[in-house]
Structure 1
Amino acid sequence: MSAAAALGPSVAHAAELPEPTLRLPEMPLHDPFIVADRSTRTYFLYTSNVRSMTGVPGVGTMVYRSRNLRDWVAPSVVFTLPEGEIWARQGGWAPEVHRWRDRWHLFVTLHNSSRPLPVPPPNQYGIPAQLPNYMRGTIVASSSSLLGPFVPLDPSRPTPPESFMTLDGTLHVDRSGQPWMVYAHEWLQKIDGTIEAIRLSPDLTSTEGDPVHLFKGSDASWIGEEVPAPSTHQLLPYVTDGPQLYRAPGGALLMLWSTWAKNALNSDGTVGGDYVQTYAVSRSGRLTGPWSQGRPLVREGSGHGMLFRSFSGELMLVLHRPFENARGKLYEVAFKHDGGLRILRQRTDLDGGG
């Protein structure tokens, strides 16, 4: 079961909703994550803090709220980086909020560009000895309320191993009740980026055991159809980001994740091309797989999505598009018989189209 689906009660003040003044085309957001809180019949959409929207400077997390997925309340800040009390200085990426043991937990990716990590050697195509590696990873912060404030459980380090350059950690609770953090191991460090998992302690404050490899970016065989041949262009490294897990009705485990297709590695070391929303399925229902790769669900600069149930019962996908100056897009989706996912329609009545 997805931790986001295991919704518990929230505090009373979460039910108090100011007048909605925004719709999705007017709402800057990247890496959206929605909690559908049934106790207050309110959707909470979390994203990185945008100062022009909140008036609050610095790294943090903000939340928009809505009763109907169309009309949204101006955002409020639920987490800010505690100055001088935490290892990180930048980031605030990919915030997610999950219910665990009667509290809400924020998973958010931070980094510190002044704390370098060893640079990997170039591979056979010359990628990418000059690219920077520095401390990056997801932390966990806790609150009694969906509106925060969220306080880091361990401000001294990210949750995954400190020597790994990682991002986009998410919570998954397996069938035995064991909590895991599933995260992306950066292509900047791996060249062929991976999705990995590590067991969490029952209070989410520490990890247990070694990371477990789930799959690598190049396992999506369709990517090879779209990458320029190395004889004509420097080969693209394989990007993995945005994992989110959801249990299919038949017991299969589905993982949304995002990558780049039809790409090239730009001269400045950035990745160019088409950001896409894709997925993988563990038909065994186990986090450890084996994982089989589906084909992209949405293209055209779309990705870092997550699944949730609307209050009227539809299975919904929210993602951002385009990659730069992103806005939220909503789709109704359905599971296929094999545990895979298909798009039914874009909800242009909610997200304004585009």
Structure 2
Amino acid sequence: MRLPDMPLHDPFIVADEKTRAYHLYTSNDPSVSGVDGTGTMVYRSHNLRDWMRPVVVFLTAEQTGIWATDGGWAPEVHEWGGQYYLFTTLHNQDRPLAVPPPDRWGTPFQIPNYMRGTITAVSDSLLGPFTALDPSRPAPPENLMTLDGTLYVDPSGQPWMVYAHEWLQTIDGTMEAIRLAPDLSRTIGDPVFLFKASDAFWVGEQIPGGVPHQIPPYITDGPQLYRTPDGSLLMLWSTYEKNVAGQDGTIGGGYVQTHAISKSGNITGPWQQHRPLVRDDSGHGMLFHTFDGRLMMVLHRPFDNARGKLYEMQLVGHELRVLDRRADLDGGG
């Protein structure tokens, strides 16, 4: 299989030195994996061009007492303490939250909230099966509607989960972080606010004068943390760029891959927003190194019926740049 033929959303690649294979994790798609159910599947390749048919590594139906059965979004796999940990977002529309949306932007923005958040699961193998550490609840506080949790380990060795707090609950989506227990099974303390989506100064630049910029929603999506050569902390994240669409004045905008920098090197920031790296309805990217040392970014495009796209990247200090769109690997488009 090749990337143009592979349905996938929110791609995450682990370059495994032991097998010299790239493992690309995404939500289970029964039409490709042949296995029904909400969960995670993984494609494998030795060259980023030719991929094996996916193997299912996690299913909610196999987790005793799991709090949710829908979702399976944004799977990531991280090695930690000699084992492999899956982070993936689940939700349950039958478990409403009691936290009402705020009355902001001059009008009540009433959207039903329900349990959504990232769970952690563990396995001895990159190919699973993964078992949920706490099937009774998501890792972030369960009164918050969150998604896309990722692992960050600070210089002291303390693990954190960084996640997006949904615009569905906050209107102006935020990025937040919370400490994890050493075995990643539970969170410790309260969430720490990092930044909000509207902090990206360029989000509403295309909205003409006279049209309010404070138009919901402002979306945070797909965080991934990366330490830069100068010691800064880089966060890839995605959002929607706002512009005016149509003569009726309705606001529209495209999904974009952007990034922010904490020059202090601390997860708490302050975070400086940078302009998007890739537009064209692209996003939820992550950085990884090839076996020959090249820095690469994988993301999905378009948002609907998504496929994986690959870019060769360069870091100069904390400045992240796109060097080359690898259409030779991802088939163009």
Q: TM-score range by the shorter chain?
A: over 0.9
1:101 is matched with: 81
Q: Using the TM superposition, name which of 110-119 and 166-175 deviates more.
A: 110-119
**How far 1:234 moved relative to its partner?**
7.9
- Paired residue total: 327
Q: Deviations over 1:164-193 (max 9, x none)?
A: 000000000000000000000000100110
1:350 is matched with: 329
2:100 is matched with: 119
1:316 is matched with: 296
8 Å contact from structure 1 (residues 236, 265) kept in 2: no
Structure 1 residues 127 and 277: CA distance shift in structure 2, 3 A: farther
8 Å contact from structure 2 (residues 207, 243) kept in 1: yes
Tell me, in whole angstroms, the C-alpha distance in 1 between the residues paired with 2:208 and 2:165.
23
Q: Deviations over 1:264-295 (max 9, x none)?
A: 799xxxx9520000000011111111110010
Q: Work out whether 1:40 is the aligned partner of 2:19.
A: yes
2:36 is matched with: 57
2:199 partner amino acid: D
Structure 1 residues 56 and 230: CA distance shift in structure 2, 3 A: farther
1:86 is matched with: 66
Correspondence 1:133-172 to 2 at 5 A: 133-172=113-152
Structure 1 residues 122 and 311: CA distance shift in structure 2, 3 A: same
Q: Work out whether 1:341 is the aligned partner of 2:320.
A: yes
Q: Deviations over 1:280-317 (max 9, x none)?
A: 00111111111100100000110000000001111000
8 Å contact from structure 2 (residues 23, 43) kept in 1: yes
1:19 is matched with: none
Tell me, in whole angstroms, the C-alpha distance in 1 between the residues paired with 2:244 and 2:123.
42
Q: Deviations over 1:51-96 (max 9, x none)?
A: 1001111100000000000000000100000366211121000000
Gaps of 5+ in 2: none
8 Å contact from structure 1 (residues 198, 207) kept in 2: yes
1:80 partner amino acid: L
Identity %: 67
8 Å contact from structure 2 (residues 204, 243) kept in 1: no
Structure 1 residues 229 and 56: CA distance shift in structure 2, 3 A: farther
Tell me, in whole angstroms, the C-alpha distance in 2 between the residues paired with 1:80 and 1:180.
24
Q: Work out whether 1:176 is the aligned partner of 2:156.
A: yes
Structure 1 residues 225 and 166: CA distance shift in structure 2, 3 A: same
2:44 partner amino acid: R
Pairwise CA RMSD of aligned residues? 1.8
1:63 partner amino acid: V
Q: Deviations over 1:227-282 (max 9, x none)?
A: 5667479813210010000111111110000000135799xxxx952000000001
Tell me, in whole angstroms, the C-alpha distance in 2 between the residues paired with 1:105 and 1:304.
19
2:229 is matched with: 249
203, 207, 220: which one aligns with 2:183 = 203
TM-score calculated relative to the size of structure 2: 0.94
8 Å contact from structure 1 (residues 301, 321) kept in 2: yes
Tell me, in whole angstroms, the C-alpha distance in 1 between the residues paired with 2:274 and 2:214.
26
Q: Deviations over 1:140-181 (max 9, x none)?
A: 000000000000000000000000000000000000000000
Tell me, in whole angstroms, the C-alpha distance in 2 between the residues paired with 1:332 and 1:291.
24
Structure 1 residues 159 and 56: CA distance shift in structure 2, 3 A: same
Structure 1 residues 142 and 286: CA distance shift in structure 2, 3 A: same
Structure 1 residues 284 and 232: CA distance shift in structure 2, 3 A: closer
Ranges of 4+ aligned residues in structure 1 off by more than 2 Å: 124-127, 226-234, 262-266
8 Å contact from structure 1 (residues 235, 264) kept in 2: no
Provide the secondary structure at the position in 2 that maps to 1:159: coil
Q: Work out whether 1:287 is the aligned partner of 2:294.
A: no
Q: Work out whether 1:276 is the aligned partner of 2:256.
A: yes
Gaps of 5+ in 1: 1-21
Q: Deviations over 1:95-154 (max 9, x none)?
A: 00000000000000000001111331331342521x221100000000000000000000
Tell me, in whole angstroms, the C-alpha distance in 2 between the residues paired with 1:293 and 1:121.
25
**How far 1:203 moved relative to its partner?**
0.6
Tell me, in whole angstroms, the C-alpha distance in 2 between the residues paired with 1:135 and 1:228.
37
8 Å contact from structure 1 (residues 113, 135) kept in 2: yes
8 Å contact from structure 2 (residues 70, 92) kept in 1: yes
Structure 1 residues 176 and 264: CA distance shift in structure 2, 3 A: farther
Q: Work out whether 1:214 is the aligned partner of 2:194.
A: yes
